[in-house]
A and B are shown apart, each in its own frame.
Chain A
Amino acid sequence: MVRKYLLHIALCVGATASSFGTSSCINDPVHNSAVNALGDETPGYPEESQYHRPGQPCTTCHWTQGPGSNKFVLAGTVFWGQCNITDQEAQNPAIVKAKCDRQPVDRAEVRVLASKGGAKCFYTNCAGNFFVREDEWNGLTYPLLVSVSKKLSTGQYKVAKMSGHIGREPSCSNCHDNPARAVSPGQVYLYEYNEKGELALPAEAKALKCPPEAPNTDPPKECEL
């Protein structure tokens, strides 16, 4: 008799635990909708790798509810060049993509100063992506101040500083989305001006390849402050 009851209790506990375990990824329509809205993988970048989906909101998947395997406390992508677009063009997603899709910046240095938890610097990979896993920065506390820089082959540095701070959003692209408009300053980008004073791109902005086309050099993840 006692054994029968124990079996019942075990089954109930198991079923409950199972339903709680799966509820986080199945039963939240808002989260599911956000994940589905990301669409297919970006062509040209290895799927399900650190190089995938540049410019997309990383923590939609890499957060508590998954389905990404790691939780990121901060992540984003750095691109070359600003996207200038008219009001009319901005309403056409195809034109936005054609005019605003940019080359990612490889090995840009992303410097982060936290309100508590000190400061750290992270490199972007060849897809322009950088990410900070939860266990890589214990005690990281928002708000954050962030700047991005890149040392060019000429030895010159290109630097972009956020004019404000990040209040609590861990994904850059949830605010930095293309095109630049009333609700977004555009993607995170570096650029330079040519001698005519026009926006221009340095030589580094071209012919970038990511694995598997190019060997994965696996650069160090953290840079010096």
Chain B
Amino acid sequence: MKRARVPVRLIGTIVGAMATFVAIMSAIGTQASCASSYDPNKTTAIVAPDYEIYKNYLDDFLDRRCGTLDCHGAPGRAYRMFGSKGLRLPTGTLFDVALVSGVQPTTEAEKRANYEGIIALEPEEMSRVIARNGENPLSLLFLRKPLGTETGQPTPGTRAIGERHKGGQVLDESDPGYRCIVAWLQYPVKLLPLDGAIPRDTGTPDTGIVDAGVTGDGSVSIGSPDLDKYCSQLPAYR
């Protein structure tokens, strides 16, 4: 019986590949062992969109569109909403009746939690979008999802920009709500360093980034054509 011969060149290649593999693995091991230890106090600064505009215009709209108990008003959602007609912000107990669904108006704490919920979906990407003045807002899952259909296939005659959304398509690009969200993301804001997950208003005035412009009576002076045009329609537009 003739024994098959293995070419010397092939053996050399195999040995070389194994040596490279071992070198890479040991390099990874070294990197891992040299990685810094977990620091619970470390925070990452992000650039957050304006809270006053969100609170006064978008929260009620998003609550109506998305925040029902069977959708994003369900406690387990990545993007979960608190609001008067849906899930209420718990105050401690499992059978909490301090805030009851459908009874008290939405509280400031709930609006703040909703605002943080949007940012917390993709904090780094949100930072990037706001830092580039809202350019390419569709890089945010928060906007791609509501434009998507249940099957992930675009509605006939529309552009395929949405991402599969179990609740079906709930926004359209021509929707004033969508336009208001985009205008909100384009609105210039202060740089807001994060303390944990809560943005603090400690922006520096010399960054060239301006404030949202809250007036003395607490209302928001919008001052942007798109915000004026679309966000002011939302209280009457559901």
> Do chains A and B stick together as partners?
yes
A residues with a Cβ closer than 8 A to B are: 85-87, 90-91, 141-143, 163-169, 174-175, 179-186
Beta-carbon contact of B97 and A90 below 8 Å? yes
- Residues of A within 8 Å of B140, CB to CB, are none
Known: A182-B100, A183-B75, A185-B102. A90 touches B69 (CB 8 A): no
Are B70 and A166 in contact, with the CB atoms below 8 A? yes
How many pairs of A and B residues are in contact by the CB < 8 Å rule?
81
Q: Mark B135-155, 1 if CB is under 8 A from A, else 0.
A: 000000000000000000000
Interface residues in B, total, Cβ within 8 A:
28
A190 to B165, CA, bound (A): 34
Shortest beta-carbon distance from A166 to chain B in Å: 6
Extra pairs beyond A169-B70, A175-B70 (20, CB < 8 Å): A87-B93, A90-B95, A91-B93, A91-B95, A163-B85, A164-B86, A167-B167, A168-B70, A175-B68, A175-B69, A179-B97, A182-B87, A182-B90, A182-B96, A182-B97, A182-B98, A182-B101, A183-B69, A185-B103, A186-B102
Given contacts A87-B93, A142-B168, contact A181 B100 (CB under 8 A): yes
Are B70's CB and A183's CB within 8 A? no
Docked CA distance A168–B96 (Å): 25
- Chain A residues, Cβ within 8 Å of B70: 166-169, 174-175
Interface flag for B111 (CB, 8 Å): no
* B220 adjacent to chain A (CB < 8 Å): no
**Residue pair A182, B88 in contact (C-beta under 8 Å):** yes
Query: Which residues of chain A have C-beta atoms less than 8 A from B75's C-beta?
Result: 183
Q: Evaluate contact between B87 and A183: CB separation under 8 angstroms.
A: yes
User: B100 to A185, Cβ gap below 8 A?
Assistant: yes
A56 to B41, CA, bound (A): 47
- The answer to whether A163 and B88 have CB atoms under 8 Å apart is no
Question: Could you pull out 14 A-B pairs where Cβ atoms are within 8 angstroms?
Answer: A87-B95, A87-B96, A165-B68, A167-B68, A167-B71, A168-B166, A179-B95, A182-B88, A182-B91, A183-B87, A184-B69, A185-B102, A186-B100, A186-B102
